[in-house]
Amino acid sequence: MNELISILNGLHPDVDFAEAEGLVDNGVLDSFDIISLVAEIDSEFDVRIPAEEILPENFNSAKALYELITRLGDN
């Protein structure tokens, strides 16, 4: 989780990702961020997020994103 938060902070150093919710709904993340995140998660966690999982609910908080990574990593 800390690794993910540091990736997120690399994109937005001014956001408290441990607490923040609604990252997509409130416009914290934009399309550039999503592209960067998918690439960095691939290289740091060795998890490839497939297109059908790139959905608002999976990117709305660090927690949701971490759950996605864990779920995909288990398979």
Partner 1 sequence: MQYNVLEYLEDTVNRVPGKMAFSDGNFSVTFAEVYRQSRAVGTWLSVRQYYNEPVVVFMNKHPKTITAFLGVIYSGNHYVPLDEEMPLFRVGLILETLKPRIVICDSVGANKLAGFGYTGMIVEYDDIADSKSDDEVLRLIRDRQIDTDAIYVVFTSGSTGVPKGIVACHRSVIDYMEAFTAALELNETAIFGMQVPLYFDACLKEVFSTLKFGASTYLIPRSLFMFPVKLVEFMNENKINTVCWVVSALTMISAFGALEKSVPVHLKTIAFGSEVMPVKQLDLWRKALPGAHFYNLYGPTEATGMSCFYKVSREFSEGEVIPIGKPFRNTSVFLLKENNEVAGFNETGEICIRGTALTMGYYRSFDKTAEVFVQNPLNKVYPELIYRTGDLARMTEDGDLIFVSRKDDQIKHMGHRIELGEIESQVSLIEGIGHSCCLYDKSTDRIVLFYSGDTDEGVLIKQLRGKLPRYMLPNTVERMNKIPLMANSKIDRSELKRRLNSNIK
CA atoms 66, 7, 11, 31: torsion sign: negative
**Interaction mask 1-40, partner 1, x per CB under 8 A:** ---------xxxxx---------x----xxxx-xxx-x--
Q: Which is nearer to partner 1, 2 or 43 (CB)?
A: 43
Burial annotation 13-35 (CB, 10 A radius, 16+ → b, else e): eebebeebeebbeeebbeeebee
> Is residue 59 exposed (0-12), middle (13-18) or buried (19+ Cβ within 10 Å)?
buried
**Please, what is the minimum distance in Å from the beta carbon of residue 62 to partner 1?**
16
Site for partner 1 in 52-71 (CB under 8 A): 52, 54-56, 59
Residues making contact with partner 1 (CB under 8 A):
10-14, 24, 29-32, 34-36, 38, 43, 50-52, 54-56, 59
